[in-house]
Amino acid sequence: MAIPIVDFGKFLNGSKAERQEAAFEIDAAFRNVGFVFLKNHSVAREKLIDCFKWSKRFFDLEEEVKMLAPHPPGGSHHRGYSGVGLEKVTQNVFSEEDLEALRQIPDVKESFESGNVDDEQQPNIWLPEDKLPGFRPFMESFFTDCRDLIHYILRSLALALDLESENQLSDTHAQSLFQLRLLHYPAVPVKFLADGKKSRISAHSDFGTLTLLFQDAIGGLEIEDPKQPGVFRKVEPIEDAVLVNIGDLMERWSNSRWRSTVHRVVAPPGENEMCPPRYSIPFFATADPDTMIEALPGCWSETNPKRFDSVTAWGYVQMRMAALYE
Ligand SMILES: O=C(O)CCC(=O)C(=O)O
Ligand SMILES: [Fe+2]
Contacts of 217 (CB under 8 A, 6+ apart): 237, 239
Ligand 2 centroid distance, CA of 221 (Å): 10
Q: Are 209 and 170 spatial neighbours (Cβ–Cβ below 8 Å)?
A: no
* Residue type at position 274: M
Query: Would you say the CB of residue 215 lies under 6 angstroms from ligand 1?
Result: yes
How far apart are the C-alpha atoms of 211 and 251, rounded to whole Å?
Answer: 12
Ligand nearest to the CA of 281: 1
Query: Would you say the CB of residue 223 lies under 6 angstroms from ligand 1?
Result: no
Query: Would you say the CB of residue 282 lies under 6 angstroms from ligand 1?
Result: yes
For atom 2 of ligand 1, which residue has the closest CA? 280
Distances (CA, A) of 304 to 74, 98, 205: 39, 53, 24
Q: Give the closest residue to 245 by CA, choosing from 29, 97, 15.
A: 29
CB atoms under 10 Å from CB of 112, counted, come to: 25
- What band does 85 get if pLDDT is binned at 50, 70 and 90? low
How far apart are the C-alpha atoms of 283 and 279, rounded to whole Å?
Answer: 13
Q: Are 320 and 207 spatial neighbours (Cβ–Cβ below 8 Å)?
A: yes
Ligand 1 centroid distance, CA of 206 (Å): 9
| Per-residue pLDDT tens digits for 134-155 | 999 999 999 999 999 999 999 9
- What band does 88 get if pLDDT is binned at 50, 70 and 90? very low
Worst-scoring range by mean pLDDT, 32-46, 145-159, 210-224, 308-322?
A: 308-322
Worst-scoring range by mean pLDDT, 201-205, 253-257, 311-315, 317-321?
A: 317-321
Query: Would you say the CB of residue 183 lies under 6 angstroms from ligand 1?
Result: yes
Ranges of each domain in the chain: 5-322
| Per-residue pLDDT tens digits for 310-326 | 999 999 988 888 877 65
Ligand nearest to the CA of 182: 1
**pLDDT of residue 91 exceeding 70:** no
Ligand nearest to the CA of 278: 1
CA–chain centroid gap for 90, Å, is 24
CA–chain centroid gap for 108, Å, is 17
Ligand 2 centroid distance, CA of 202 (Å): 9
ipTM confidence score: 0.99
**Atom number of ligand 1 nearest to Cα 181:** 9
| Per-residue pLDDT tens digits for 55-69 | 999 999 999 999 999
Query: Would you say the CB of residue 213 lies under 6 angstroms from ligand 1?
Result: yes
How far apart are the C-alpha atoms of 159 and 170, rounded to whole Å?
Answer: 11
pTM score:
0.96
Predicted local distance difference test score (pLDDT) of residue 92? 59
CATH superfamily of 5-322: B-lactam Antibiotic, Isopenicillin N Synthase; Chain (2.60.120.330)
**Atom number of ligand 1 nearest to Cα 221:** 3
